[in-house]
């Protein structure tokens, strides 16, 4: 990691960083099997969750993650914040600095917002999704899920299907999967993929859904319906479904399907695939909590060079 403990981009991490964080997540997972699911690891630390764009699962899992680690948590949602009265992100951060937070967890509609925030605080900044930029904790939980449920990513083929243009999940996921040794390909309507994606992120890009045939993992992206209105990116969702929907007719046995949610059943993915016990979608949702616990732990201890409380020992004692 950089000298700052922040997690803003996947490129902030090395493969070793990823494995360290995911090893911590694995140990926290064992705590989640206990009766009392809370550990004192971050007692006395303050986590500010600043969510300036709608979010349910990410904000909930970050809030619960901080509470399970015994941190003090302040959660601020986009509705009713001063930013809607014209305050800039800089001023919001400077104001919240009064609480002397140790971590800002930030969800924001604009690319690069976390990097802006980082300039005005000494706290670590964790990117919980910045516009069409990145969503690194999603990528970490996706890697964790594959490693837990399928096996090492090294040598695997991950096919990412759908609206890559608007997807921070894809942008972070492609980088994380490749960092862990996977081959990544993108299958997308040509209108929904950035023109220079292949050169930018080292992926193969095709427009033919049949190209998922030799993938080990098929990662389905949500059609961001809210952006489809006037854009004319695809002629109709019905045609999109006919050409690109991931369903059992297009999958072969053994291929595992992922989706970051929320799903549009019958659009980018069939209901049958969502409900298939072989899909990894439920595991992804479940793993969000422990991976985000591990990220909060990591930015406050390991990456910051404060290894005295090591994840393996006393931190896992019940509170």
Nearer to another protein, 17 or 130 (CB): 130
Stretch that binds another protein, among 88-96, 141-149, 182-190, 302-310 (CB under 8 A): 88-96
**Site membership for another protein, residue 85 (CB under 8 A):** no
CB 130 within 8 A of CB 110: yes
The reply to whether 108 belongs to the active site is no
**Site membership for another protein, residue 168 (CB under 8 A):** yes
The reply to whether 183 belongs to the active site is no
Residue choice 101, 162, 189, 194 for contact with another protein (CB under 8 A) = 194
Stretch that binds another protein, among 67-75, 129-137, 149-157, 236-244 (CB under 8 A): 129-137
Residue 15, token pair as written in the block: 């493969």
The reply to whether 85 belongs to the active site is yes
The per-residue b/e assignment along 143-157, b for 16 or more CB within 10 angstroms, e otherwise, is bbbbbeebeebeebb
Residue choice 119, 154, 210, 253 for contact with another protein (CB under 8 A) = 119
**Site membership for another protein, residue 147 (CB under 8 A):** no
Residue choice 15, 83, 201, 213 for contact with another protein (CB under 8 A) = 201
Count Cβ atoms below 10 Å from residue 304 Cβ, excluding itself: 16
The DSSP bridge partners found for residue 124 are 103
Q: From the candidates 24, 41, 46, 58, give the one annotated as an active-site residue.
A: 58
Q: Which residue spans within the chain are E strands per DSSP?
A: 46-51, 72-77, 103-108, 124-130, 157-161, 183-187, 204-206, 217-220, 256-259
Minimum Å gap between C-beta 108 and another protein is 7
Residue 198, token pair as written in the block: 């292949």
Nearer to another protein, 66 or 179 (CB): 179
What's the CA gap between 174 and 10, in Å, rounded?
10
Residue 8, token pair as written in the block: 């803003």
- Best CA proximity match to 88, nearest among 56, 120, 48: 120
Minimum Å gap between C-beta 115 and another protein is 7
Name the site residues for another protein (rule: CB under 8 A).
88-90, 108, 110-113, 115-116, 119, 130-134, 168, 171, 194-197, 199-201
């Amino acid at each position: 990691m950089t000298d700052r403990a922040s997690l803003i981009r996947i490129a902030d991490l090395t493969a070793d960083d990823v494995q360290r964080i995911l090893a911590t997540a694995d140990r926290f997972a064992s705590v989640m099997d206990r009766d009392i699911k809370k550990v004192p690891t971050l007692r006395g630390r303050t986590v500010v969750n600043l969510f300036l764009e709608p979010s349910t699962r990410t904000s909930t899992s970050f809030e619960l993650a901080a509470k399970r680690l015994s941190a003090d948590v302040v959660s601020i949602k986009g509705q009713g914040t001063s930013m809607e009265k014209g305050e800039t992100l800089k001023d919001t951060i400077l104001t919240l600095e009064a609480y002397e937070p140790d971590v800002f967890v930030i969800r924001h509609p604009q690319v690069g917002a976390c990097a802006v925030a980082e300039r005005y605080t000494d706290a670590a900044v964790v990117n919980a999704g910045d516009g069409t930029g990145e969503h690194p904790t999603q990528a970490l939980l996706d890697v964790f899920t594959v490693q837990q449920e399928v096996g090492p990513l090294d040598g695997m083929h991950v096919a990412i299907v759908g609206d890559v243009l608007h997807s921070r999940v894809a942008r972070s996921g492609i980088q994380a999967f490749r960092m862990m040794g996977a081959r990544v390909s993108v299958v997308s309507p040509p209108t929904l993929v950035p023109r220079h994606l292949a050169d930018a992120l080292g992926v193969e890009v095709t427009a033919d859904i049949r190209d998922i045939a030799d993938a080990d993992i098929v990662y389905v992206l949500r059609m961001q319906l809210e952006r489809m209105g006037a854009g004319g990116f695809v002629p109709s969702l019905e045609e999109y479904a006919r050409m690109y929907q991931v369903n059992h007719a297009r999958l072969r046995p053994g291929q595992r399907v992922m989706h970051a949610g929320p799903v549009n059943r019958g659009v980018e993915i069939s209901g049958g695939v969502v409900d298939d016990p072989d899909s990894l979608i439920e595991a992804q949702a479940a793993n969000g909590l422990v991976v985000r616990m591990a990220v909060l732990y990591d930015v406050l201890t390991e990456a910051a060079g404060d290894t005295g409380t090591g994840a393996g020992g006393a931190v896992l004692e019940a509170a």
